[in-house]
Chain A
Amino acid sequence: MTESGAPAASGGGSTPAGRGSAERVLTLEREASLQERLLARDERALVELVELVTPWLLGVAQGMLSDRDEAEEVVQEAFTIVWRRADLFDRESGRLVPWLLRITRNRAIDRLRARRRRSLKTTCFETHAAGEAGWTQAIEPNEAALPGWQVHETVHSALRELPEDQLLVVRLAYFEGLTHSEIAGRLGIPLGTVKTRLRLAFDKLRGRLASIRDWVT
């Protein structure tokens, strides 16, 4: 893998700003170096990581929670875990940035479900319904300069290839944190239909995203 190691069949849109620019990509080597420096309590490594991935972590958390302050708290929790427990990261079984994304997403879902248990469900759903466009397009005009933009475009391209009904349930399930039954209730369709659409969609996504599994950001 090279620094500009874009997969030939990524399906991503052309993003000249993101290609071949060594200072704006995260190579395996840089990632390994970051982890080693984090383990060695090198604060500059944490600064580097925070600058690199915060926009993406905020995007994940805010997409689910629809609350900027709470999203920032979730991202803070994720970085705290990474800083305090970098030893928990298993380089053999995963990559550092996906690990951070997973922690953030899980924390956001936990908060979302705790919030729903506190009977704020309706408010939350209404907020999400009003902000559907947020997950599909960049908020800022020059986001293509962000490190990781190529990955975003490739993921998006894979999502856009899904049939509309499958794309909708993936959005609600994966990017807004709804469970099967919540999606069924929200869309007014049988639970079995939700499960089938999600299964079909994830099967396709697993295949299409395989090409960037070991990609750099």
Chain B
Amino acid sequence: MTTHEWFIEHRTAFVARTLEPDEERSFHEHLAGCAECRAELERIERELAWLPMGAAPVRPRPGLTRALVDGAIGTRRRSPGWLIPAGLAAALLIAVGSWSWARRTVELARADFDQQRTRLLQELAMVRDTLGIIRTADKVRHASITMGERHGGLVIFADDRTHRWNVVVYGLPAPEPGEVCQFWFITGTGMVKSVEVKTDGGGPAFLTLPMPATGGTVMGAALTMEPAGSTTDTPQGTELAHLMM
């Protein structure tokens, strides 16, 4: 079993959090560089989203609902005056309150930090992933595109090991109103619709695409200008570029 196969086999275990702590850490590190596993984990999470509802419900203690709301919002109930102790007791309460506030603040900061760290790791992983495909591409193909006075192009970096392409579309103007720029795979059984390419005449558009699940062997790609909202599975509009691998 290869390393990646191990991760594939343990995706559900990762979602269910049944891996050992060191395996879980390895999985987190792997995810930073594997878009395929990240996508699959999202799918598994959706499929098992309601599984926790298998646990028997527990009726809250009286007053808990209000306490949970107050706790989340951070409000404190006013203590009756006769309960407020003087001197040392007050100081003690303040100390305890400060400690509690500090702990909650730290917990919230930790939650924020964790979320930001996860996002940064994911962004870093996407960048690494993109560069990885470019660096190890088995084939690189280019086609020039001319639209009026604009000269742009389509570049495909094909990575046969991960069966993914990095696609760069550059120099194209934004589509006319009612049109979209559509990317197609040319397969052994015909054209397979892929994604819309956002071109705005500014910077290049970058795409990382897995091979289509249908249509057989991928032999090339095409870029067309299609009517917006078109639901047909075959190109209807103007072909901008056509590349065979």
Contacts and interface: CB of A to CB of B under 8 A. Distances in A.
A173 interface: yes
Given A149-B57, A151-B53, A152-B53, 16 more contacts: A43-B69, A54-B64, A55-B59, A60-B55, A76-B72, A80-B71, A81-B108, A93-B46, A101-B52, A106-B17, A152-B54, A155-B51, A175-B55, A206-B48, A213-B46, A213-B47
A202 B16 contact: yes
Interface in B102-127: 104, 107-108, 111-112, 115
B50 A98 contact: yes
Given A106-B17, A137-B56, A212 B50 contact: yes
Given A82-B72, A173-B16, A213-B50, A59 B112 contact: no
Given A179-B19, A179-B20, A198-B18, A80 B58 contact: no
Interface in A127-161: 134-140, 143, 146, 148-149, 151-152, 154-156, 159
A135 B9 CA distance: 28
Contact of A80 (B46, B57, B108): B108
Contact of B54 (A98, A159, A177): A159
Interface of B: 9, 12-13, 16-21, 42, 44-61, 64-65, 67-69, 71-73, 104, 107-108, 111-112, 115
- From B69, B107, B111, residue with most partner A Cβ within 10 Å: B69
A37 interface: no
11 contacts: A60-B55, A63-B55, A72-B64, A95-B49, A134-B56, A137-B56, A174-B16, A175-B55, A179-B21, A206-B12, A209-B49
A155 B50 contact: yes
Contact of B51 (A80, A181, A205): A205
Contacts of B55: 56, 59-60, 63, 135, 175
Given A93-B42, A113-B21, A55 B68 contact: no
Contact of A46 (B17, B46, B69): B69
A94 B42 CA distance: 9
A209 B57 contact: no
B19 A206 contact: no
Chain A at the B interface: mostly helix, strand, loop or mixed?
helix
Please classify how large the interface on chain A is, using the bins under 10, 10 to 19, 20 to 34, 35 or more: 35 or more
B113 to A, nearest CB: 12
Contact of B57 (A59, A85, A109, A173): A59
A82 to B, nearest CB: 7
Interface in A30-46: 43, 46
Contacts of B107: 77, 80
Given A51-B65, A54-B65, A195 B54 contact: no
Nearest to A212: B50
B60 A135 contact: no
Nearest to A152: B53
Contacts of B18: 173-174, 178-180, 183, 198
A144 to B, nearest CB: 10
B45 A94 contact: yes
Contacts of B56: 59, 63, 134-139, 143, 152
Interface string A79-106: 1111111001000011100100110111
A55 B71 contact: no
A165 B64 CA distance: 37
